[in-house]
Structure 1
Amino acid sequence: MKKAEIKIIVELDENNLPESIVWESTDSKNKEALPVKSFNLSLWDHNYQNTLTIGLWTKDMPVDDMKRFFYETLQTMGDSFLRATGETNIVEDLRDYCAHFADKMEIKQ
């Protein structure tokens, strides 16, 4: 059985606020850690029937980038949900909401 590891390294300041975030994967062609400004991680706990989440961003991440990050996260969640369930109607509703979100946040699509 093949195994892969994803590692996320967060450097914190004296107040425990993220200064920098890098990630790397054993499956990646790029063997060095790549810097990012934010990440959301969601894991499904089957035993407790709930979602475990971590959302972190560096303290210097611009608000406009955060708005774009959330917009794109919602879009990709729709893609994943469609692949997992085939539920096209609700994904179309989510796409409509994403367009509304982009409009309200003044995000260029």
Structure 2
Amino acid sequence: MAQNKKEISITVELDDNNIPEKIDWNATDKAGEGIANCKAMFLSMWDPEKQDTLRLDLWTKEMTKEEMKVFFHQTLVTMAETLENATEEEAMAEDMRDFTAYFAEKMEIVE
């Protein structure tokens, strides 16, 4: 049985229309002290019983479209790295990296 545990907490403050106004998070092994604020998050979890992905995508009212484009790009880059690390699918990860470069160009994101 695992003796080491980590905890992640996420608090979302909503307006009267259930639109996120503030997203705070903390983790037991997060760098730095205290609660951190963010404007957007993508959380994906694998349900082994249903063989399906559960996801939660949130962003605050203050998240600009330009910030969202960069956030998407950086998330796609990270997904390519994770795919390669988790599956050793180097060729597909490289294809994903090619797409992220295309994405950045089309979204006019400076790398």
Please state which band the TM-score falls in when normalised by the shorter chain: over 0.9
Matched, 1:96 2:98: yes
Letter in structure 1 aligned against 2:54: L
Distance 2:31 2:86 in 1: 27
Deviation at 1:105, TM superposition (A): 0.3
Indicate the residue corresponding to 1:11 in structure 2: 13
Deviation at 1:31, TM superposition (A): 3.1
Matched, 1:105 2:107: yes
Runs (4 or more) in structure 1 with deviation over 2 Å come to 28-31
Q: CA RMSD in A?
A: 0.8
In the alignment, structure 2 segments of 5+ residues that lack a partner are: none
Where do residues 1-109 of structure 1 align in structure 2 (5 Å cutoff)? 1-109=3-111
Question: Is the partner of 1:19 in helix, strand or coil?
Answer: strand
Distance 1:92 1:30 in 2: 33
Could you state the TM-score of these two structures normalised by the residue count of structure 2?
Answer: 0.95
Deviation at 1:26, TM superposition (A): 1.4
Letter in structure 2 aligned against 1:88: E
In the alignment, structure 1 segments of 5+ residues that lack a partner are: none
Q: Deviations 1:25-77 (Å, cap 9, x if unpaired)?
A: 11224231100000000000010000000000001101000000000000000
Q: Percent of counterpart pairs with the same letter?
A: 47
Question: Is the partner of 1:107 in helix, strand or coil?
Answer: coil
